[in-house]
Amino acid sequence: MKMRRKGDLPQKTCAACGRPFAWRRKWARDWENVRYCSQSCRSKGANAEPVERPARNGRVGGR
C-alpha cells in the first residue's frame, strides 16, 4: 500500500459524538460499516446526543 498523508485519508462522522474520524488500516475490510470513532462511542450508541466540546482555540462550537 502506498503511503498517504493523514489528511488524504477518507473521513466519516461518528454516529454517537458527531466528531470526524479518519480511515484506519484495521478498518480496511469493513470501512463501509464503520459508524463509531471509538469503543466508547460504540457502547453509547447512535441515540446519544452529541456533546458540545470547546474548540482548541477556546471557543465553544467553533472549529
> For 11-42, what is each residue's pLDDT tens digit?
999 999 999 999 888 988 999 999 999 999 98
Q: How many CB atoms lie within 10 A of CB 44?
A: 17
pTM: 0.59
- C-alpha cell of residue 30: 469493513
Residue 50 has pLDDT above 60, yes or no: no
Question: Rounded CA gap, 12 and 47, in Å?
Answer: 17
34-55: average pLDDT: 76
